[in-house]
Structure 1
Amino acid sequence: MSDFEVIYYSRGGNTKRLADAIAGELGVKAVDVKTAALSPDVKIIFLGSGCYGGKPGEDMVKFIQSGKLSGRKVALFGTSMGGIGKEVDEMAAALRQKGANVVGSYFCKGKGLLIFSRGHPNQDEIDGARKFAKEMAS
């Protein structure tokens, strides 16, 4: 059993890249939200999503709504074309309504529509996700 779980939703692979970097830093495996099940003994749950119309992915929204998250520590991450974190803000609000404790967040640009934000997340942003994971774990 691990102290951490990394659960993500990603259509284009951008958020999955961050999830894999975070999970690698923590020594765990990132899990797609469609197959994820929360373990009761996890110290911090890392949840990540891309941004779709200013919101996290529908599967992530459903996971947050149906999950038993009251009293749980959650760290959030996300990617979007603008890199401004609307998806993270939406997840944080929903998690707080469920009684979760949001302990931190990280977001960056992600490539969208083939031409916007091309090259993102870049190596610096992936390294930033690793640093975020290390900070949350300490």
Structure 2
Amino acid sequence: MLDYMVLYQSETGNTKKLATSIFAALPGMAKDLRSIDELSSLPEASTYFIGFCVHRGTCSLEIGNLLSTISGRNVALFGTCGAGNTDNYYKNIENSARIWLEDDNAYLGGFFCQGKMPLQIRQKYESMLNGDEEHDRHLKLQLLNFDEAMIHPTKEDLEHATTFAKNCLSRL
């Protein structure tokens, strides 16, 4: 059995970057890093770090199903999201994904940060602008958020992911 398993789902590479930083922060050689797309079954580990890209404020069904198969282990969640950049939003994401975990797991915490989004999303927002100031206000905020997210995850985000992993280890 491995000491640590870092599993992730990443569409644009953002969450993979976090997963790599977390993996590098874990001690020893009894550890592994894999995309969930490569799994045929869940590798046995004492501690799991599960990462995902956020869609509509939560994890994908694949991640939810994966989380629900883990029992009696230590589990931490991490991920990236394009929309929102507030601690409250990140806490809501964490809580919505955490409900998939069985109660017999020791939950170690969660870490989330912004990640860049595909250009098609910006183009979608732009196409929805119609010149109505009231209607366009929210879309303009979304466009601003999109532009701010383009540099994420930053070096600082990756350092925070490393710190998160080390803090999780201190809880074991």
Query: Shared topology, TM-score over 0.5?
Result: yes
User: Which structure shows the higher helix fraction?
Assistant: 2
CA contact (8 A) 2:2 2:32 kept: no
Does residue 105 of structure 1 match 2:106?
A: no
Aligned pair count reads 134
Matched residue type, 2:161: A
Question: What TM-score results when the alignment is normalised by the length of structure 1?
Answer: 0.85
- Render the CA deviation track for 1:92-130: whole Å, top value 9, x for unaligned: 111146x42211111111111335111101110000001
- Normalising by structure 2, we get a TM-score of 0.69
Q: Which amino acid aligns with 2:156?
A: D
Q: Return the match for 2:101 from 86, 95, 99.
A: 95
The percent identity for this pair of structures is: 31
Which residue of the partner structure matches residue 64 of structure 1? 67
List alignment gaps of at least 5 residues for structure 2: 123-145
Q: CA RMSD, aligned part only? A: 1.9
Does residue 119 of structure 1 match 2:155?
no
The 3-state SS of whatever aligns with 2:79 is strand
Q: Higher Cα Rg: structure 1 or 2?
A: 2
Contact 2:4 / 2:26 at 8 angstroms: preserved in 1? Answer: yes
1:100 is aligned with what amino acid? N
Name 1:6's counterpart in structure 2.
6
CA distance in 2, matches of 1:113, 1:33: 21
